[in-house]
Structure formats: C-alpha cells, structure tokens
C-alpha cells in the first residue's frame, strides 16, 4: 500500500514537473533571442540565408506548433536536433552523463562519510570545544560561494603547488559503453579538485544535519532508556542513534546528489569538466533550444527518480511509514 501510493504520487508529480519545465523552458528560450543568429554568420548572411535557416530550424512556425513538434520529439525520445552540433540532442546529453555522474558520485561519497562522521562526533559532545569548532567551520563552509571555492582550490592545488591539474577530465577508460576518469590514475588526479569543490559545502550540510539529529535523538527518552537498560554507548550509537538520524540524511543526500547530477554547473565550467551542467550553460548561451530542453527534461526525470528513491528508502527505513496502524 505504502509503496504503491509513493510510486503513483511521484509519477503524477513527474508528469506535472516535466510539463511545467518544458513549457517554462520553451517560452523562456523563445523570449531570449533568435537562435538563427547563432547558426548563420551574422556579418555575411543575406536575408535570404537567414530566411532559409529559419525554415530549416522550424522557427517560421507559430509558437504553439513549435511546442507540439517539440512534444512530439520528446515522445519519440530524440528531443530534436541540436542547432549547433547537428546531432540528436538527447544523445549529446547522454554523452556527457558519465562525466557528471562520476563527479557527483564521488563528491557525495566523500561528503556523506566525512559529514556523518563529523556530525556524530560533534553531536555526541554538544558544547565541547570540538563541537564548537565543527559547527563554526560548517557555517564558513556553507558560506563559500562554490565558484570562489573552486577558484581557490585551483589557486592552491594547481597554480601554487602544482599537485593537481587545474581542469579537464584527463585520461579516461571505457566501461559499460561510457568513458570514466576514475579508472585511470591520471583521471583520478583530475577528479580530486572538482570533487572537493562539490563535496565541501555538502560535508558541512550533512555534518550539521547529523549533529542536530544526534543531539535530538540523544535527548530523547528512548536513548536514556537504552542507557538504563545497560547497553553500551557503541551499541546505542550504531543501533539506535544512527538509524534514527538517517532519515533526514538520506533526504539531503538524495536531493544534493540530484542537484549535482544535473547542475554542477559552476564547478563543471570552472574546471572545464565536460559534463551535463557545462553543456547546459553553453547551450543557453548559444540558444541551442533542443539541447537546453533535453537537458532540462533529463534533469526533471533524474530529480523525480531520485526523490522516488528517497521515498522508497524511507519506506524501508521507517516502519511508521511502512506499516500504518
């Protein structure tokens, strides 16, 4: 019952989200400018050439018809052809996917492990010097704008010390039909700085959540009761506190992972990491509507999928959701 309602609820949300995104994105791109000027050479093009290019891109049609064509393209899964690269737009997004995926995955892994560790460390000793250091650092870490953090990482990690390359993916190896950086040592070195740039704010976020959760759970009656039962601190931490703080953490990890998957825009552009986010920014600047729409739709789907996953994890983790009385 719980599973079914989660899935149907999320599905209806997905359709609504995709519909709204497609509409907003479509009108938005339309209102910004005429993509034709990015396709032809503005200085030399004759009015005749511009007219021909407009018809070729289908931009001579009324807006509602263009939208219908777009919807048709979505339904067939191609999202149309890129104005700039002359390739199917969805193919372009898929090509960039592995780069973004590994970046986000490693960043989230680092953030979850470190964030949870630091948060529980602080939360089990509220008010201690260690706790204060962790809480204060987390405010600083959450205050750094990610573009500046990335720049500082390049300044320190690449320009000043030369330890890591300042950008790019490095060597990649193929696995399951996608290219991955983490399979080569050169690629791994390229991963370090962008992963750090993405992970640092998330370490802080997860640490704060974990700390707040730990403090709250430790204050609850059942934790005191566990102490009174004669359980060891270790057993209480791993069998009672951690499961009880895991719910909000799972939510934030899911949300942030989704955000990174689709919109590590800033970090990807600064580190010249050829991922989905960089593709989106480039396409927006070039008014490459099919690619923008493909990216947005992909994002929406990825987001809803992750939200659904988080809900399902909730169902698994929380018996109050799983079994209603």
C-alpha count within 13 angstroms, C-beta hemisphere, residue 42: 5
Q: What are phi and psi of 174, to 5 degrees?
A: -90, 135
Residue 171 interacts with another protein (CB under 8 A): yes or no: no
Any idea what DSSP says for residue 181? S
Q: State yes or no: residue 282 binds another protein (CB under 8 A).
A: no
- Least distance from another protein to the Cβ atom of residue 282, Å: 11
3-state secondary structure of 144: coil
Smallest gap, in angstroms, from Cβ of residue 55 to another protein? 25
Which residues are CB-contacts of 89 (< 8 A; sequence separation ≥ 6)? Answer: 78, 79, 80, 81, 82, 290, 291, 293, 294
Out of 2, 144, 188, 305, the residue judged to bind another protein by CB under 8 A: 144
Q: Supply the minimum distance, in Å, between the C-beta of residue 289 and another protein.
A: 11
**In this complex, which beta carbon is closest to another protein, that of residue 51 or of residue 235?**
235
**Which whole-number Å values give the CA distances from 35 to 52, 83, 91, 148, in the listed order?**
13, 8, 20, 31
Binders of another protein in range 295-324 (CB under 8 A): 296, 299-300, 303-304, 307, 317-320, 323
- The interface with another protein within residues 202-241 (CB under 8 A) comprises 205, 208-209, 212-213, 216, 220-222, 224-232, 235, 239-240
Using CB under 8 A as the binding rule, the residues of this chain from 3 to 42 that contact another protein are 13, 16-17, 20-21, 24-25, 27-29, 31-32
> What residues numbered 237-266 form the site for another protein, per CB under 8 A?
239-240, 243-245, 247-248, 251-252, 255, 258-259, 262-263, 265-266
Q: How far is CA 256 from CA 17, 104, 198, in A?
A: 18, 9, 10
């Amino acid at each position: 019952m719980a599973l079914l309602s989660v899935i149907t609820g999320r599905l209806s949300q997905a359709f609504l989200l995709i519909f709204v995104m497609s509409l907003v994105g479509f009108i938005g791109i339309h209102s910004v400018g005429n993509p034709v000027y990015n396709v032809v050479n503005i200085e030399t093009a004759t009015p005749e050439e511009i007219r021909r290019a407009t018809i070729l891109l289908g931009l001579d049609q009324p807006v509602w018809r263009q939208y219908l064509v777009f919807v048709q393209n979505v339904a067939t899964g191609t999202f149309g052809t890129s104005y700039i690269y002359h390739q199917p737009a969805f193919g372009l997004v898929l090509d960039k996917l592995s780069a973004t995926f590994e970046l986000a995955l490693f960043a989230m892994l680092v953030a979850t492990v470190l964030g949870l560790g630091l948060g529980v460390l602080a939360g089990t000793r509220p008010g201690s010097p260690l706790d204060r250091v962790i809480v204060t650092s987390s405010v600083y870490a959450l205050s750094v704008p990610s573009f500046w953090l990335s720049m500082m990482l390049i300044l320190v990690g690449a320009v000043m010390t030369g330890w890591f390359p300042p950008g790019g993916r490095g060597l990649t190896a193929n696995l399951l039909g996608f290219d991955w950086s983490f399979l080569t040592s050169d690629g791994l070195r390229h991963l370090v700085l962008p992963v750090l740039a993405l992970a640092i704010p998330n370490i802080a976020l997860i640490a704060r959540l974990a700390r707040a959760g730990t403090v709250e759970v430790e204050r609850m009656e059942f934790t005191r009761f566990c102490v009174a039962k004669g359980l060891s601190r270790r057993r209480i931490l791993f069998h009672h506190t951690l499961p009880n703080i895991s719910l909000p953490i799972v939510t934030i990890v899911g949300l942030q992972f989704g955000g990174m998957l689709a919109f590590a825009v800033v970090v990807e552009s600064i580190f010249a990491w050829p991922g989905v986010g960089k593709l989106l920014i480039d396409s927006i600047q070039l008014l490459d509507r099919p690619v923008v729409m493909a990216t947005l739709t992909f994002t929406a789907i990825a987001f809803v999928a992750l939200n659904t996953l988080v809900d399902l994890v909730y169902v698994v983790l929380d018996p109050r959701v799983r079994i209603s009385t």
